[in-house]
Amino acid sequence: MLTGKLDGRSKKAIRSEIRYFDKDQNPVSRDRATWAVFREVDENGVLIFEAQGFID
C-alpha cells in the first residue's frame, strides 16, 4: 500500500508504504501477514520514519 501527502511542516512530499510479511519474512498479502513494516520517505527517497509490528 502506497500513499502520498505533503508534510505540513516543510511542504515536502512524503510517501508512505506498508509492507506485509509472514512468519518466515516472506512478502505476503495483508490478510496472510503476521507482521508489517510501515515507512515514510521524502520525495528523494530518504527515510523519515519506520515502525515494525506484529499483527494479531
C-alpha cell at 29: 498479502
Residue with cell 496472510: 32
44 and 13 in contact (C-beta within 8 Å)?
A: no
CA dist., res. 53 & res. 38, Å (int):
9
DSSP assignment of 28-51? --GGG-SEEEEEEEETT--EEEEE
Give yes or no for residue 2 having a pLDDT over 80.
no
How far apart are alpha carbons 41 and 29 in whole angstroms?
22
> Could you read off the pLDDT of 3-49 as tens digits, one per residue?
555 555 655 678 999 999 999 999 999 999 999 999 999 988 899 99
